[in-house]
């Protein structure tokens, strides 16, 4: 199960809505081994595409160096789908390379940039196998 603070959940949804119709992407980092998504980090989608996302290579290096310096890891890796459901695509599965992370998918297909509910779902992706998990949104992390 993914346990995430309301504020972080809202920040991910707001980012996805703002970037629509392009895919939004980012990370929520937390202390290594803690499974606590604490530090919300928006990333730039270097692909600037409605159907693909990729971090810029220098941004990627800076992100991992910073997490390393702070003894953090990517607890949540999120991105949005803008025209399809919040389920990992074939490409998402093929490129998933953090077996310890919660892969969060948000779909903005229903309301785009506007107010309204979004699909917000979380998965583990390990060796090409996708396992959906429950999402618990809490006022604050315990």
Partner 1 sequence: MAIEVRIPTILRTYTDGEKSVTGQGASLGALIDDLEANHPGIKERLVEAKDGGVDLRRFVNVYVNDEDVRFIGGLDAELNDGDQVVVLPAVAGG
Residues that bind partner 1 (CB under 8 A): 25, 27, 43, 47, 51-55, 57-58, 60-61, 64, 73, 77, 79, 88-92, 95-100
Q: Which residues contact 16 (CB under 8 A, 6 or more apart)?
A: 24, 80, 106, 108, 118
Least Cβ distance, residue 18 to partner 1 (angstroms): 19
Looking at the Cβ atoms of 52 and 137, the one nearer to partner 1 is 52
Between 6 and 28, name the residue whose CB sits nearer to partner 1. 28
Collapse the DSSP code of 91 into the 3-class scheme (helix H, G, I; strand E, B; otherwise coil) and give the result.
Answer: helix
β-strands 119-126, 102-107 pairing: antiparallel
Q: 46 or 137, CB closer to partner 1?
A: 46
Q: Is the CB of residue 106 less than 8 Å from the CB of residue 86?
A: yes
Spatial separation of the C-alpha atoms in residues 38 and 53, rounded to whole Å: 23
CB of 17 to partner 1, least distance (A): 19
Nearer to partner 1, 99 or 139 (CB): 99
Output 93 or 141, the one with its CB closest to partner 1: 93
Q: How far is the CB of 29 from partner 1 (least distance, A)?
A: 12
Minimum distance, C-beta of residue 91 to partner 1, in the bound complex (Å): 3
Q: How far is the CB of 24 from partner 1 (least distance, A)?
A: 12
State both tokens at 92. 């998402």
Sheet holding 72-81, edge to edge: 39-43, 25-31, 72-81, 102-107, 119-126, 129-133
């Amino acid at each position: 199960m993914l346990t995430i603070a309301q504020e972080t959940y809202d920040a991910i949804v707001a980012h996805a809505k703002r970037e629509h119709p392009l895919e939004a992407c980012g990370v929520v980092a937390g202390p290594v081994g803690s499974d606590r998504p604490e530090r919300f980090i928006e990333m730039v989608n270097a692909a600037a595409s409605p159907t693909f996302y990729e971090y810029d290579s220098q941004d990627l290096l800076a992100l991992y160096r910073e997490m390393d310096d702070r003894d953090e890891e990517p607890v949540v890796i999120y991105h949005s789908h803008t025209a399809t459901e919040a389920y990992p695509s074939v490409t998402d599965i093929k490129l998933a390379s953090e077996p310890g992370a919660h892969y969060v998918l948000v779909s903005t297909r229903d309301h785009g940039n506007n107010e309204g509910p979004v699909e917000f779902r979380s998965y583990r992706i390990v060796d090409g196998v996708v396992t959906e998990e429950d999402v618990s949104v809490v006022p604050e992390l315990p």
